A and B are shown apart, each in its own frame.
Chain A
Amino acid sequence: MKEQRTKRTTRHFHRIALALSAVFLAAAGASAAELPREEAVLTHAPNVPPPITRRTPAKVVINLEVKEHIAELAPGVEYTFWTFGGQVPGPFMRIREGDEVEFHLHNNPDNKLPHNIDLHAVTGPGGGAAASFTAPGRSSQFSFKALKPGLYVYHCATAPVGMHIANGMYGLILVEPEFGLPPVDHEYYLMQGEFYTEGEYGTPGLQTFSMNKALDERPDYVVFNGSVGSLTGDNAIHAKTGETVRLYVGNGGPNLISSFHVIGEIFDTVHIEGGDRLNANVQTTLVPAGGSAIVEFFCDAPGTLTLVDHSIFRAFNKGALGMLKVEGEPNLTVFSGKQHDSVYLPEGREPPSDNGHALVRTDREPTLTEQKRAGELVYKQTCFACHQASGQGIPSVFPPLANSDYLNADPERAVAYVIFGRQGPITVNGVDYNQIMTPQNLNNEQIADVVTYVLNTWGNKKGRISATRVQEIRDGGPEPFGAGIHAE
């Protein structure tokens, strides 16, 4: 009798539980069904999807493919990248607070390794890592709700995690706050990451991942958007004076913290660490590995702003350098430009004249192809800041090297200018210039290579300069070519 009552009670409980769960399921089903369904717009860096205009949550479907492939890390340097969406960083994803995301991760059949994704915007175990763990040639699906607004990093979290990140598997997902972000004129996406290669910086050819350097946190490359030069020259980003720019800045790491700075600007606002808190009037903001920041600034004056990791050797020696070109009328009150220019030589100091001994190459002579290839690297590291990516120079400021009548008239004069520097007026392709080029600290073979490269590029007259000839010009001093710089 007693046993019977117990059974009945249990059955009763079961019935209530069933009914309750039915109600919950119905509610959950109903709310999911009510949400409009849309496919997320994904963009590759430096582009950002348009702001979200809807003011209610949606069911957002994200499809992301993992692809392992070889691409350029720097001019002449290749690397096997592991990527989300075929590029480093992975695509920018933009959703809204309260959205429910249905995430599909596809592992390309040609890949060799399993991958997954840990989105820092996910509240749940592993940020989705275990749920999205996917063998080559398979797809995984999981869902999450975007509970908190902010700019979040996503990355692969498959063992060995460090290596998956070091090979480029990271990107940003923006969860817009309920009422959106204030409108701006331009939004750009920029993500820092470092690469650890067997060869030193600039060593040409296909480079493999160096585990030892990664363990030592000693990268050869620190870059924005996956490669040296991804944001310079023709790849620079643009704005006009009077416009406001918002940069979504992420740091994939895997190891280094970025000291993000824009040379020639002050950030009006910074969303510290990609969160809600705003700081104002900031020069440099820290972006942690696996973290982000949103920076905004108004462009008062025209010119090229240089984006750097102000841990500065990374910028000028390892690649963490980008450009934002601001066009518009100069505002001379905000910034005058150079008003006076002369060389300052302390008393008793002579301009450098002869530091080139023992710089002649002793092994075999390089081929023209080798010289051009090596010269291109020298050019991109030394000359390109003034003479520009395609040798076009800057009108009236830095003379062009492309299709240059002045260069072609006497290439050895150019060698002398690189060795000794040059000061005073010259006319190139009918335009007058009056600037100073400082002596360049390059050895004979670097000078021979870079002048040979320039002579064989951009419509110049071809020809070659040997390291031996550079030494002879060095020995002859600046006078025969009217080279050198002097005190006023």
Chain B
Amino acid sequence: MTVVPSHSARASTRSKVKRIVIALLFASLCGGVEAAFIQVDAGVYRPIYSNEPEQPVAAFLLEEAQVTNEEFLQFVTENPRWQRSKASKLFVDERYLANWTDDLTPGVNAPLNHPVTQVSWFAARAYAQWKGARLPTLAEWEWAASASEDRADSRGDTNFLARILAWYGRPASTGTQPVRSVYKNFWGAWDMHGQIWEWVEDFNSALVTGESRNDSALEGGLFCGSGAAGAADVEDYAAFMRFAFRSSLKARYSTSALGFRCARDLPADLKEPTQ
């Protein structure tokens, strides 16, 4: 039996009830298309470079599955300025929704129940705002994604890492599957790995510190052996690949294996009492 860290030991019956309440709450808010949120308890995000401090992550709500083509279709229907032919080239590149048949038809290459891909960060963010939500932060996403099926924190679990890595090794041309088809993790979030990459609010923060003279050194570190020298966990190749992927992006880019899901702050009355 695996050891569950102490922060999740608090996942009592009380919080399970809370999660159901939350799910019902948002199901009623978002009429038509279902978008259930699950609660991720507080935890710690460990940056890939060991010289960066660990960051505490407060409990938050995360959409249990990626946003689908169907949901995104509803968004562009209600917000025509985000339709493929109308979206400003400042906010999307030439590949924005290029797999859709036309502005309002996802079509054969983008089945309705599959995650939407080829969307820019700007578009993903606009969608989240329209939903009354936001994108998860990098720290939130990484913390939530470090859960396997039965452990809140599976970092260091070599089997779990090997599974993630195997997915990273498959070309994107193998296509997507319907949402909720790979695995459901400890928190109830589906397919954090194994389907697509996901946008996060601060996707480029791994390489940007605000101190521009340091940025170039950080970037340099990612390309050569010195990157590994400062790594917190040299065997977590999967984390390196996510950071490399994110740092190759600009906010207007869209690629065929990149989508997103939304997050929300935990409503104040549902927050765990501080210890």
Contacts and interface: CB of A to CB of B under 8 A. Distances in A.
Interface string A94-123: 000000000000000111111010100000
B220 to A, nearest CB: 7
A167 B170 CA distance: 11
Contacts of B87: none
B143 to A, nearest CB: 21
A114 B197 CA distance: 12
Given A159-B223, A211-B235, A112 B253 contact: no
Contact of B162 (A159, A161, A211): A211
Given A110-B256, A135-B255, A80 B171 contact: yes
Nearest to A115: B248
Interface in B222-245: 222-225, 227-228, 235, 237, 240-241, 243-245
B171 A70 contact: yes
B160 interface: no
Contacts of B219: 130
B245 to A, nearest CB: 6
Contacts of B170: 80, 112
Interface string A9-28: 00000000000000000000
A109 B256 contact: yes
B170 to A, nearest CB: 6
Interface centre among B225, B237, B243 (most CB of A within 10 A): B237
B240 A160 contact: yes
B254 interface: yes
A212 B173 CA distance: 27
Contacts of B240: 159-160
Interface in B41-60: none
A113 B241 contact: yes
Contact of A113 (B95, B166, B168, B254): B168
Contacts of B267: none
Contacts of A376: none
B187 to A, nearest CB: 25
Given A110-B173, A129-B223, A137-B255, A209 B165 contact: yes
B249 interface: yes
A110 B166 contact: no
A309 interface: no
A68 B248 contact: no
Contacts of B104: none
B241 A110 contact: no
A111 B224 CA distance: 22
A211 B223 contact: no
A159 B168 contact: no
A133 interface: yes
B257 interface: yes
Interface in B81-113: 95
Given A109-B95, A211-B237, A157 B223 contact: yes
B118 to A, nearest CB: 8
B253 A129 contact: no
A215 interface: yes
A136 B254 CA distance: 9
A258 interface: no
A163 B256 contact: no
Contact of A111 (B95, B171, B228): B171
B166 A112 contact: no
B210 interface: no
Contacts of B32: none
A446 interface: no
A238 interface: no
A159 to B, nearest CB: 4
B29 interface: no
B171 A110 contact: yes
B165 A211 contact: yes
Interface string B159-175: 00110011011111100
Interface centre among A68, A136, A209 (most CB of B within 10 A): A136
Interface in A293-311: none
Interface in A137-161: 137-138, 157-161
A366 interface: no
25 contacts: A69-B171, A69-B173, A110-B173, A112-B171, A112-B257, A114-B249, A125-B220, A129-B223, A129-B224, A133-B248, A135-B249, A135-B250, A135-B255, A136-B255, A137-B95, A137-B254, A137-B255, A159-B244, A160-B244, A161-B224, A161-B225, A161-B227, A163-B241, A208-B169, A215-B235
Interface of A: 68-70, 80, 109-114, 116, 118, 125-126, 129-130, 133-138, 157-161, 163, 167, 208-209, 211-212, 215
Question: What are the 7 tightest A-B residue pairs by CB atom distance, in nearest-first order?
Answer: A114-B248, A110-B173, A135-B248, A68-B171, A112-B172, A136-B255, A159-B244
Given A113-B245, A133-B247, 6 more contacts: A109-B255, A110-B256, A112-B257, A137-B95, A160-B240, A161-B224
